[in-house]
Chain A
């Protein structure tokens, strides 16, 4: 049950700016629930950013990234209408991805 994502990709002056939000608890494994039990680690581990199907940024992240992660990336080039895809996978094997057209 992967949470929804949001993305905006815009082109200006030769660069494509990508801003993406992933809905994810990013549990560190150190937080306790109201009953005092530790909430198990649950966090995104890998994220890939693709421009027209070609990987441009490959990310590995830890539980040290804030809940509901937001990332900004910048790509030299691209054009309006190009396809940006961002995909993530977490430590439980859950994953999600989203496409957006560069505006």
Chain B
């Protein structure tokens, strides 16, 4: 058990106590992933992203994410081409279903990744969303 803790299993919990400045300030998706302690997420069909293929208004892009990976404890949302790619990270506990629906901003057409963590491993689903009017300039 202590071995698992040392390998970083407990790190995401600790990181969530305060806003993760490093990860949210990262300007690339890879740096953002590193900031939340994720590397080498395995592609999966068990994480579902429901979102429009074409978003007319990048200021409000509705996204619904469900993880069917057993034991999912967190879901992170990354819009690769946003100035700050990490949009959100959700930690689920005590009965919360690893599901979330939210509206995100997208500056341009981009891949959106949903990364679920379960049992010390990470799983990623990716979906491209085309944006016709960007939403970062307000």
**Which residues of the partner chain A approach B79 to less than 8 Å between Cβ atoms?**
64
Do the beta carbons of B93 and A58 come within 8 Å of each other? yes
Do the beta carbons of A56 and B95 come within 8 Å of each other? yes
CA distance A27 to B59 in the complex (A): 11
Residues facing A in B94-110 (CB within 8 A) are: 94-97, 99-105
Do the beta carbons of B95 and A64 come within 8 Å of each other? no
Chain B 80-116 near chain A by CB (<8 Å), digits 1 or 0: 0011111111111111110111111100000000000
Do the beta carbons of A74 and B93 come within 8 Å of each other? no
Residues facing B in A42-84 (CB within 8 A) are: 45-46, 49, 51, 54-67, 69-78
B61 nearest CB neighbor, chain A only? A66
CA distance A78 to B96 in the complex (A): 10
Chain B 42-76 near chain A by CB (<8 Å), digits 1 or 0: 00000000000000000111001000000000000
**Which residues of the partner chain A approach B104 to less than 8 Å between Cβ atoms?**
64-66
A90 nearest CB neighbor, chain B only? B19
Do the beta carbons of A59 and B59 come within 8 Å of each other? no
| Nearest CB in chain B: distance from A75 CB, A | 5
Residue B20 CB within 8 A of the other chain: yes
**Which residues of the partner chain A approach B24 to less than 8 Å between Cβ atoms?**
45, 60, 62
Identify which of A31, A62, A71 contacts B138 (C-beta below 8 A): A31
| Nearest CB in chain B: distance from A38 CB, A | 11
Do the beta carbons of B90 and A30 come within 8 Å of each other? no
B82 nearest CB neighbor, chain A only? A64
CA distance A63 to B137 in the complex (A): 12
Do the beta carbons of A66 and B60 come within 8 Å of each other? yes
A-B contacts besides A64-B104, A71-B102, 12 pairs, CB < 8 Å: A30-B137, A57-B91, A57-B92, A58-B16, A64-B85, A64-B87, A65-B87, A65-B102, A66-B60, A69-B102, A72-B64, A78-B95
Cβ contacts A to B, 15 pairs, < 8 Å: A26-B105, A31-B138, A45-B19, A55-B94, A57-B96, A58-B90, A62-B24, A64-B85, A69-B102, A71-B100, A73-B99, A74-B97, A75-B95, A75-B97, A78-B95
Closest 9 CB pairs of A and B: A31-B138, A72-B101, A66-B103, A64-B87, A56-B96, A74-B97, A58-B91, A45-B19, A61-B88
